[in-house]
Structure 1
Amino acid sequence: MRFTPRTARHALARLLTVLLLACGLAAPGRADAAAPVLTVDLSATTGPVTGAGAGFLYGLSQDGRGPADHLLAPLAPTSARGGGARLDGHGWVGDGYAAGNGYRVRIDSALSQARRLRTAPYSAAYHLLVSDVWGADTTQPGSTVYPCAGGDCANWLAFLGRVTADVRASGQTVMFDIWNEPAGAFFPPGFGTVQYFQMWDTAVREIRRLLPGAAIVGPSQAGFYPGDIATFLGHVKAAGTVPDVLNWHFSTDPAADAQTARNSLAAAGISGVRLSMNEYLFSPQQRAGVQAWHLARIARSGLVTADHAIWTDCCVAGTLDSTLVPVGGTLRPTGQWWVYKAYAELTGRLATVTGGAGSVDAVAAADQARARAGILVGDSSGNTGPVTLALTGLGATPWLSGPQGVRVVVQRIPDQNPLAQPVVVGSQTLPPGTTSAQVPVTWQAANDAYYVTLTPATTASATVDGAATAAGPHQFTYGAGWSQTSGVADMYAGTANWSHTAGSTALLRFTGGQVALRAVRDTDQGRMLVSVDGSVPVTVDDYAPARNASAVVWTSPVLDPGPHVVVITVAPDRNPASTGQNIALDRADVGQPQVTRVDANATTGTHFTYGSGWGVTTGVPDMYAGTANWSFTAGSVARLAFTGTRVALHAVKDADQAIMTVAVDGGAPVQVDDYAPVRNASGVVWTSAVLAAGAHTLTVTVTGARDPASTGGNIALDSADIYP
């Protein structure tokens, strides 16, 4: 969506929708309502994960190179849409209805974007916006003569011939999205007019004549209008110009609208047509929690693709529709980016999600091959309050249980721009043999999203050969420019995966808390860029005066336990002493870092110290070491001096708990609300950012404030995890 006038009917509908959404985003919380319960049945699956919804309208740069792979690959995009809108020259129209420089710059941009997204490690569908290449992007002059005016389609046919010839010459497979939002400033003759259907029919017949088998997409209406869809289907059925994909923009509820569209297709006697919503999220909806809700609805809708809309940086900024923001000249992830990353980590088969109330929903998936399950939770109205995830069917997923059981981690994805990383707000280990469990989720701020992961609880490490490309908990994926050599005596499993092509990308998807990357260091090796989970890439120089075929060349920081993505890119330069710029990957070592658990009542070694106002209770069966250190006195302070790179705080969450603040090394205090409608006596309530290795001090302060739903003002500390 580009911000532009519409016909009166469409503009009014848009305005009312946006106003309602804006009001909803400021709606009061759920504090006075019963907590919704979402039941996730991991034993009942509904079909394979497709990734529908992980798409972008004009998300890439003009030449398709931006954003960099370390920001794009973790999202596993499944679709994109573009056609050079707003580029200088005004397309075919600006060239006097001919193929000049204005046309050339637009088609070249679109095909460059398609080439990027159709090349490994990506396999996204690309919808070519034919009308944008033509010039109908709202910047065209008022004197524009639109296709088939007065029944004359000759110039339109000439344009279609040139577009199809250029697509064929590029070697790219695209889907032809014939006309974007055919009303208002995009197509003043209007949708459903004689001229519109002449334009449509001519395009479908000519594209299919010139490129047999080419996929046609339409009508790309500005909203979901059932009456217009019925009119469109009635015509195209009679004319023999039915599209391969029926699409629209901005569903209120993607799942409900998709069912209505299927009903309309059946009523028209049309079968075999797929469905797409290739623009979604109005500007005020572009929030982490609202986006997660839409993805949940899209996942169960049966749509084959859906693309995030663009409102503020049209059209070649390369920011993935503002899910990336510039910070000091570098693009950084936002909360929305992290939602897409969590969504990309939902692999395998969709699990059944039922229940809930009002605006909360979730999408869940279980993947036996990768030994993990995930749940992404969102809210469409910006509400706050408790939600309970009732996990069932665990008895049917023994592959999720490790020696210690199932590790359940709850991450909060704040709606922040930028956002360095999600925050772990809860964790627990379900004992082996557990068949069901309840996981409390409490919104801490409107428009947050939450991501819950289930993985085997184990302390075991894993060695991952660079040639391990089959789906599993740990897997390498290689883009163009990479090759493999076997029979290398001094490398793990005898294999080397290598590239000397600058820009070539390899991915390592792993599940764990830390990873070390091993590669060849030698006199002919180059440099590579390494990033984890969208972090700013670091340069790793693999040159060495003597060969080490399996050197540890990079180690990640300590990460939250769960799925992560490392992106490795061959750098364009090399050490001046090197005779080449090859990169040869050997293997990766994945593990859970050895975390030290500190009881809140410990008195020797690393331990908490307490000021006035604190008490201790022993013999509490559901707490670590059976002890609780507690206070309900505002201003009471507890401190933990520790040495390490990170600290996670365990505390009681319950119906009578209150609000505390936590701070590290005198930094800004962060508020933590320990209220929850369901007790969790030993979960992680807060985790620090990764810290410089060394000595640090954690300070916990009782605020005296509490959630309105809480029945008390207590703070009860359980323990802390210290990361090396």
Structure 2
Amino acid sequence: MRTRRTAASAAALTVLTVLATGTLSAPAHAAGNTLTVNVGTTVRPVTHVAAGGLYAVNTGNNPPLSMMYPLRLNHLTQPPPGGQQLGNGATQPCCDGLQVAGKVTSGGAQQFYRMPDIYPNFPYKWVSWADWESKVRTMVQARLAATGTTNVDGWELWNEPDWTWNTAAAGSFNAGWTRTYQLIRSLDTVTPIVGPSHSIYSHSWMVDFLTNAKNTGTVPDVIVWHELGDDSYLNVQAHVADYRAIETSLGISPRPISINEYASPSQVDIPSVAVHYMAVFERHGIRDAERAYWYEAGTLNGLLHNNAPTSSYWTYKWYGDMAGNIVQTVPGSWLEGVAAYDSTRKIVNVVLGGDSGNNTVKVNGLSALGTQVRVTLTRSGTTGRTTNQSAPIAVTTGTYNVVNGSISVAVNGMNALDSYQLLVTPVSGVPTWQQRYEAENATVVNANRFSSASASSGGYVGQIDGSADMRAASFVDFLVNVPQTRSYTMNIGYANATGANATQGLAANGSAWSTVTYPPTGAWGSFGASVNATVNLTAGWNTIRLAKGSPYFAGGTGYAELDAITLS
């Protein structure tokens, strides 16, 4: 919320510091830097880690689904059922997680429910334990009654307890965490519990919190903290390393990490700053991250103004276009970037920014694209939060000779606030629309991603096992974009080592369920087998679900792992 105390580091940031005038201080090394992209070095599957927000989605048309789809949203944090929070000057509460659940799921995201946002005020005004526990019961029971709602993957027990928890009235936060955790688990044994959600990362706070959590059997399923200072992206690597060391020292099994608020008020709308966060979150193993809610709700955290794009939207749209695997980037001074390689379409997608003047992007590992490649360079512009930009700005297009697997592209006259997209494709043969979709790039609910040398693009989804109810249902949602309204043949790559036929449910855009049958294959994690199904899709965006369990579906039989789908 806008009234929160910003936890910036005491160290002054040399570059990318926005002054009160809205200008940017001069970079320490304004030109002559090189961002290196190593296409052959895979970091992780594309999951669009940084594509999320706090209070990003409201009911109705704020934002439109048509604006959400291209971003491939990963994760959101929304108010809980019945939330009454009046954030940032709002006169009515908004964004109730149950009310927006259908839109969140359609957009491909999952969501936490931030429980203390049941209170109208921020900082929160504690009433009593009887009041709080009554509220907790009401919130949990409302979610349990929503039997058609999926993609709720966390109860966030509190928000920024380091300064919003009323110790004098409620006792210590660690004791309050334990008490609340135990109450929720008495009501809901399935939905993950996440926290502690400190406003900054603190070694001593994390040690104290986790020591108590381990001793009381209340370790969160997902670890959460915020990165809200002007230089926070510089600290992510150290914070992750410190947290992992604490886990190890306490004998706690590794937890996913969520940074469910990132970027300071002065920097959240600068495209090049977004690139820095994207890069460090992908590089250092963050599971999901959400843009902070400093201003207005329901705008994808400022990516839209009046439901139309700002310049920052295009940065996240380029990021959303990534498919296949995130590959290694090596920054040069403040020239930072995130890159992906889609091996099925032979597309290298680099999003970069952070320095001014004349700089270079060197891309290695391009031999599979041929002896010549097409390079297209585009920039975002810097409109800020309240000015629309209907499209990104074309910079250059050219053909480059690939020498020893590499090209070097000059990016001249850079603006340190802008982000840039550099697309590298073969000179010919690039498909006009994406036909192959990797399961590990899709929305994976109550299942897990794995790697295999035999899998397309090296990854697959397994442990698609749950069918008990809407909280435990296991499925994979593929968000696809097709050119025509018609029937498509869908080829599904799979593995099934049960020794018998397995089945999953198939539905497109919430249509009636059909059944896909997977004959047995040789081994788990070993791919090459496929089956065909028919799906009816409309021109534009569609969601295809393959499910072991899902609301309104009786449930699949046996077990199958998913590699990829191909539409034709």
Aligned residue for 2:167, secondary structure, equals coil
What SS does the corresponding residue of 2:266 show, helix, strand or coil?
helix
**CA separation of 1:78/1:89 partners in 2, compared to 1, >3 Å: closer, same or farther?**
closer
Pairwise CA distance, 1:434: 5.9
Deviation of 1:212 after TM superposition, in Å, equals 1.5
Tell me the equivalent position of 1:271.
253
Assess, with a 3 A threshold, how the Cα gap between structure 1 residues 389 and 16 changes in structure 2: closer, same or farther: closer
TM-score in terms of structure 2 length: 0.69
Asked if the contact 2:108/2:479 (under 8 Å) is kept, the reply is no
Distance 2:422 2:16 in 1: 30
Contact 1:85–1:137, Cα closer than 8 Å, also in 2: no
Distance in 2, matches of 1:187 and 1:216, equals: 18
2-structure distance, mates of 1:275, 1:48: 16
Q: Does 1:112 align with 2:78?
A: no
Cα gap change, 1:12/1:455 in structure 2, threshold over 3 Å: closer, same or farther?
A: closer
Q: Is the 8 Å Cα contact of residues 29 and 385 (structure 1) preserved in structure 2?
A: no
1:25 CA displacement: 5.9
- CA distance in 1 between counterparts of 2:82 and 2:3 reads 13
Secondary structure of 1:131's aligned partner: helix
Deviations 1:661-706 (CA, angstroms, capped at 9, x unpaired): xxxxxxxxxxxxxxxxxxxxxxxxxxxxxxxxxxxxxxxxxxxxxx
Deviation at 1:362, TM superposition (A): 0.9
Find the counterpart in structure 2 of residue 544 from structure 1. none
Rg (Cα) greater in structure: 1
1:219-368 → structure 2 map (5 Å cutoff)? 219-250=196-227, 252-253=232-233, 254-286=236-268, 287-313=270-296, 315=297, 318-326=298-306, 331-357=307-333, 359-368=334-343
Per the alignment, in what secondary structure is the counterpart of residue 397 of structure 2? strand
Residue 41 (structure 2) pairs with residue 44 (structure 1): yes
| Preserved CA contact (<8 Å) 2:81 2:98 | no
Q: 2:417 aligns to what? A: 447
CA separation of 1:353/1:82 partners in 2, compared to 1, >3 Å: closer, same or farther?
Answer: same
The equivalent of 1:162 in structure 2 is 138
Residue aligned with 2:246, SS: helix
Look up the equivalent residue of 1:387 and give its one-letter code.
Answer: N
Q: Match for residue 716 of structure 1?
A: none
SS of the residue corresponding to residue 408 of structure 2 reads strand
Residue segments in structure 2 that go unaligned for 5+ positions in a row: 444-476, 488-537, 544-566
Asked if the contact 1:348/1:366 (under 8 Å) is kept, the reply is yes
Q: Could you say if the C-alpha distance between residues 509 and 12 of structure 1 is closer, same or farther in structure 2, counting changes exceeding 3 Å?
A: closer
Aligned to 1:4: 3
Aligned to 1:458: 428
Query: Residues 83-98 of structure 1: matches in 2 within 5 Å?
Result: 83=79
Distance 1:258 1:25 in 2: 31
2:344 pairs, out of 349, 359, 369, with: 369
Q: How far does the alpha carbon of each residue in 1:15-55 deviate from its partner, in whole angstroms, 9 at most, with x for none?
A: 9889993349621146x666111211111112212211100
Structure 1 distance, partners of 2:167, 2:11, is 22
1:406/1:16 Cα in 2 relative to 1: closer, same or farther (>3 Å)?
A: closer
Amino acid paired to 1:35: G
Report whether the alignment pairs 1:188 with 2:166: yes
For 1:362, what is the secondary structure of its paired residue?
Answer: strand
Aligned counterpart, 1:629: none
| C-alpha spacing 1:333/1:278, structure 2 compared with 1 (3 Å) | same
Measured after TM superposition, the shift of residue 162 of structure 1 is 2.0
Deviation at 1:86, TM superposition (A): 11
- Please point out which of 107, 114, 117 is paired with 1:132: 117
Q: 2:92 aligned with 1:56, yes or no?
A: no
Q: Determine the C-alpha separation between the residues in 1 that align with 2:145 and 2:81.
A: 22
- Distance in 2 of aligned mates of 1:85 and 1:220: 19
3-state secondary structure, aligned to 2:181: helix
Q: What amino acid sits opposite 1:271 in the alignment? A: S
Query: C-alpha distance in 2, partners of 1:111/1:234?
Result: 33
Letter in 1 for 2:67: L
Q: Distance in 1 between matches of 2:277 and 2:85?
A: 36
2:203 matched to 1:203?
no
Three-state SS of the structure 1 residue aligned to 2:161 is coil
Q: Do structure 1's residue 218 and structure 2's residue 198 form an aligned pair?
A: no
* One-letter identity of the residue aligned with 1:311: W
- State TM-score, norm by structure 1: 0.55
Tell me, yes or no, if the aligned pair for 1:507 and 1:568 is still in contact at 8 Å: yes
In the aligned structure 1, how far is the partner of 2:119 from the partner of 2:345?
45
Please tell me whether the aligned partners of residues 7 and 199 of structure 2 are also in contact (alpha carbons under 8 angstroms).
no
Alpha-carbon distance between aligned partners in 2 of 1:319 and 1:377, rounded to the nearest angstrom: 24
Asked if the contact 1:387–1:442 (Cα under 8 Å) also holds between the matched residues in 2, the reply is yes
User: Could you list the per-position Cα deviations for residues 64-101 of structure 1 after superposition, in whole angstroms to 9, with x for gaps in the alignment?
Assistant: 6521111110001000011169976989xxxxxxxxxx
Aligned to 2:549: none
Aligned residues of 1:85 and 1:135 also touching (Cα < 8 A): no
State the distance in 1 between where 2:342 and 2:219 align.
37
Determine if contact 1:324/1:333 at 8 Å carries over to the other structure.
yes
**Superposed CA offset, 1:463-490 (max 9, x none):** x7xxx96428xx999xxxxxxxxxxxxx
Partner Cα distance (2:347, 2:168) in 1:
50
CA–CA separation in structure 2 for the residues paired with 1:455 and 1:169: 49
- In the alignment, the residues of structure 2 paired with residue 129 and residue 476 of structure 1 have an alpha-carbon distance, to the nearest angstrom, of 25
Classify the secondary structure of the residue corresponding to 2:76.
strand
Q: Considering Cα pairs closer than 8 Å and 6+ residues apart, tell me whether 1 or 2 has the greater RCO.
A: 2
- Paired residues of 1:256 and 1:301 also in contact (CA < 8 A): no
SS of corresponding position for 1:112: coil
> CA distance change for structure 1 residues 5 and 351 in 2, over 3 Å: closer, same or farther?
closer
**What is the alpha-carbon distance in structure 2 between the residues aligned to residue 410 and residue 260 of structure 1?**
38
Aligned partners of 1:311, 1:85: CA distance in 2, in Å?
A: 22
1:519–1:323 CA distance, 2 compared to 1 (3 A): same
Do the aligned partners of residues 233 and 506 (structure 1) sit closer, same or farther apart at CA in structure 2, a change above 3 Å counting?
closer
**How many residues are aligned here?**
442
In the alignment, the residues of structure 2 paired with residue 460 and residue 19 of structure 1 have an alpha-carbon distance, to the nearest angstrom, of 38
Cα distance in 1 for residues equivalent to 2:272 and 2:168: 36
- The correspondence of residues 531-610 of structure 1 with structure 2, limited to 5 A, is 566-567=540-541
Rounded Cα–Cα distance in structure 2 between residues aligned with 1:167 and 1:18: 46
- Structure 1 446/85 Cα, relative in aligned 2: closer, same or farther at 3 Å? farther
Q: Offset at 1:506?
A: 11
1:79 aligns with 2:75: yes
Whole-Å Cα distance in 1 between the matches of residues 246 and 478 of structure 2? 44
Kept in 2, the 8 Å contact 1:217–1:243? The answer is yes
CA-atom RMSD in angstroms: 3.8
Cα separation, partners in 2 of 1:283 and 1:89, compared to 1, 3 Å: closer
Equivalents in 1 of 2:3, 2:184: separation in Å? 29
Q: What amino acid is the match of 1:76?
A: R
Distance 1:476 1:196 in 2: 37
- Verify the 8 A CA contact 2:81 2:142 in the aligned structure 1: no
Structure 1: which amino acid aligns with 2:26?
A: P
Q: Which amino acid aligns with 1:438?
A: S
Identity %: 26
Q: Which of 25, 28, 48 matches 2:26?
A: 28
User: Deviations 1:397-436 (Å, cap 9, x if unpaired)?
Assistant: x2x34xx832111111111232221122122223477611
Secondary structure of 2:18's counterpart equals: helix
Contact 1:146/1:187 (CA < 8 Å) preserved in 2? no
| CA deviation profile, 1:314-363 (whole Å, cap 9, x unmatched) | x4xx211111112xxxx210111111111111211111112411x22111
User: 1:280–1:307: 8 Å Cα contact kept in structure 2?
Assistant: yes
Counterpart of 2:103, as a letter, is R
Unaligned runs of 5+ in 1: 92-101, 148-153, 478-504, 511-515, 521-552, 555-565, 570-587, 590-724
Q: For residue 281 of structure 1, report the CA deviation from its aligned partner.
A: 0.9
* Secondary structure of 2:215's aligned partner: helix
**What amino acid is aligned across from residue 123 of structure 1 in structure 2?**
G
Q: Which amino acid aligns with 2:71?
A: L
> 1:133, CA displacement in angstroms?
1.9
2:85–2:121: 8 Å Cα contact kept in structure 1? no
**Partner amino acid, structure 1, of 2:304:** L
